[in-house]
Structure 1
């Protein structure tokens, strides 16, 4: 048996706004998280994420532990051999996984390494900037790379289409009475899916998959590729090129959006070319722009360090536990840090630091105790137990973000 690890390198460490709160392997890309994709390929569960030290108490259902790069020597019960794979490398679904010792390459870049029995783990600084291990064979693995967090947005729909085409059952699911289908791509329902009459399934551009106990309301137009995770609710409007984790509640006009899960957009408003973390709540009529008036490429980041995404269409990245008030408007290329709560008539800045609170450009720091108390209440509403480890993890990320 081989122990399987995902690691975040120095580039993944800077994936704002998500890298503050979670290992990057726990981000949804297409039909699965990056972790789930690697597990499917390797045929084994991940033993852990090698990631940032302040995430040592990260806790989420189904996720393995988060490990400090300097603490691998002290792990007990590891098998003789270990595989380490970059969270930014996306292996092809049809790649052949071979655990034999080797340096693993994706498109000419080192993506990971398989180490034999008795070999020590890589040195702690190796994970930040991995280099080939001398004496090992080189093996190419088909796949792609994610270079920036907004790649999750730009590459999301095509990744989702490929994933669903490779896994969806052939043929067409029998639709409930009063519903219609355009196109011939497959539709697949999980157990106990509830679809009200008056729902249109448009599969001309890709398959549609609904997880267990998903609910679809009358007046919803679903356009593939589309995946809604277990217990999600699609509550009306035009929803296209969408991938949502469990308990994603969505309504309105939604296009090319990924929702990590346990998040709410239950009211009208446009959301386009965007990525939402977990535990996000968007107030009624929250709307984002995803196209500049000039049709030029979109720049993102702090005012003194803007980066050109080279994307003409890009809306926003919202970190975990972000909240917006009714009528909130988000400019093109907005990035909102985790734990922020925004409201008021004025548009917030395009770069919002974590744990910001307020309206427009008058933002204060969310108090630690208030943030944790709100997060615990929100988790309870979805039946998630917010025990001491959950609260400690929230406190750790608040501390790491700094500020008064």
Structure 2
């Protein structure tokens, strides 16, 4: 059986994070949504997404397929309902199509009208990512679920005796190095991925996940419901934030109630506000409507797309969205929406030329022994064109 994870309308409301990936490759908890489904159902995954992403994330139907909404996270009850589906069954809740069992895919795409399918209503609540803030809102719960999934019937590697550990809800993969740090698991688990490092003087309170190859620098302070994706380097203070992977926040500064994409870099002493001075609800830019949307949240910080950078001492206001390949610098607060491929971030921003952005990405990739291939170039070129109308700097 192949799990085909399809994008639905949530893809548009999750921008800019989904400009460069299918929804199911967003990380929430320890794992991406795709990794969760693959581990639970012990199956290969494929993707049904927008055409310009399809080459990088292929759609490979087989004679035995189950289509699952890529914005939906698995839980025990939902898994039971999905595994019980028979060919021709479609599982839905309210207005959301959750899964379709389609043993033989003709065109490979399930009929969104579901003509000829047996509709089965799912009566329970689901965890679904519709807006970027749903990632950090659901992160604590998803860390706990993923921790159980990844550690069941396994033994943790040991930790050095130089550390202070509160509670025993911790799992350490092989190659992890932690010295002279405080790890508090009394209110949530701590998961340390393969070859991760926590340097001296760090303080961590679970629920927390530090994924493969990532590092916490000396004196880092981590608050609950935080995930650091693979191959990141993090310092300063982080609270209820998710960093998808391959990004750096290597110095002092506060990051809270936020989602940071891949290949981002935050300069020294970068801070974001996550609470307005008047304590009213925070609004976030919505790409699909071209307007700010009320999140209904009192605490909401920064959403940053892949390949974005910001200079030292950058101050992000409450509810700021930074697009793909934006380069943010200058005095004062950047705008609450910094368009993709912006150079500046303030009133006098200009367009970040595509070839110049590619050159920067090449240099970033070269440091990690990675090449910017033709497929990624085409994706970035497409995003450049798709977002051009947002760059109205005149």
Alignment check: 8 A CA contact 1:191 1:212 kept: yes
CA distance in 2, matches of 1:243, 1:141: 30
Aligned equivalents of 1:118 and 1:224: distance in 2? 43
Q: Give the unaligned 5+ runs of structure 2.
A: none
Deviation at 1:172, TM superposition (A): 7.5
In 1, Cα distance between the equivalents of 2:221 and 2:121? 44
SS of the aligned residue for 2:203 comes to strand
Which residue in the other structure is 1:138 paired with?
120
Deviations 1:113-163 (A, max 9, x none): 11133655446xx5xxx4444342526496322222211121112221232
Which residue matches 2:5?
6
C-alpha change, 1:367 and 1:338, in structure 2 (3 Å) is: same
Partner in structure 2 of residue 219 of structure 1: 201
Give 1:65-144 correspondences, 5 Å limit: 65=58, 78-93=61-76, 95-96=79-80, 97-98=83-84, 100-101=86-87, 102-106=89-93, 109-117=96-104, 120-122=107-109, 130-136=112-118, 138=120, 140=122, 143-144=126-127
How far is the alpha carbon of 1:389 from its aligned partner?
2.6
* 3-state secondary structure, aligned to 1:392: helix
Alignment correspondent of 1:200:
182
Name the residue aligned to 2:298.
312
CA distance in 2, matches of 1:369, 1:118: 40
C-alpha deviation, 1:368, in angstroms = 0.7
- 8 Å CA contact 2:136–2:259 kept in 1: the answer is yes
Q: 1:215-294, aligned counterparts within 5 Å?
A: 215-235=197-217, 236-240=219-223, 241-294=225-278
Secondary structure class of the residue paired with 2:10: helix
| Contact 1:153 1:256 (C-alpha < 8 Å) held by counterparts | yes
Equivalence for 2:316: 330
Q: 1:322 to 1:225 in 2, by over 3 A?
A: same
Could you say which residue in structure 1 is the equivalent of 2:34?
35
Deviates more, 1:297-306 or 1:23-32: 297-306
The answer to whether the Cα contact below 8 Å between 2:328 and 2:342 also exists between their aligned partners in 1 is: yes
| Match of residue 369 from structure 1 | 355
- How far the C-alpha of 1:93 sits from its partner, in A, is 4.6
- Alpha-carbon RMSD across the aligned residues, in angstroms, is 2.4
Q: Which structure 1 residue ranges, 5 or more long, are not aligned?
A: 59-63, 68-74
SS in 2 for 1:373: helix
Query: Could you report, residue by residue, the CA deviation over 1:367-387 in whole angstroms, capped at 9, with x for unpaired residues?
Result: 011111111111121222323
1:163 is matched with: 146
TM-score, normalised with respect to structure 2? 0.89
- Give how far 1:199 is off: 0.2
> CA separation of 1:118/1:157 partners in 2, compared to 1, >3 Å: closer, same or farther?
closer
For residue 379 of structure 1, give the secondary structure of its aligned residue in structure 2: helix
Q: Give the whole-Å Cα distance in 1 for the aligned partners of 2:346 and 2:99.
A: 44
Aligned residues: 380
Task: Classify 1:216/1:35 alpha carbon distance in 2 versus 1 (closer, same or farther; 3 Å).
Answer: same
TM-score w.r.t. the length of structure 1 is: 0.87
CA 343–53 in structure 1, closer or farther in 2 if over 3 Å, else same: same
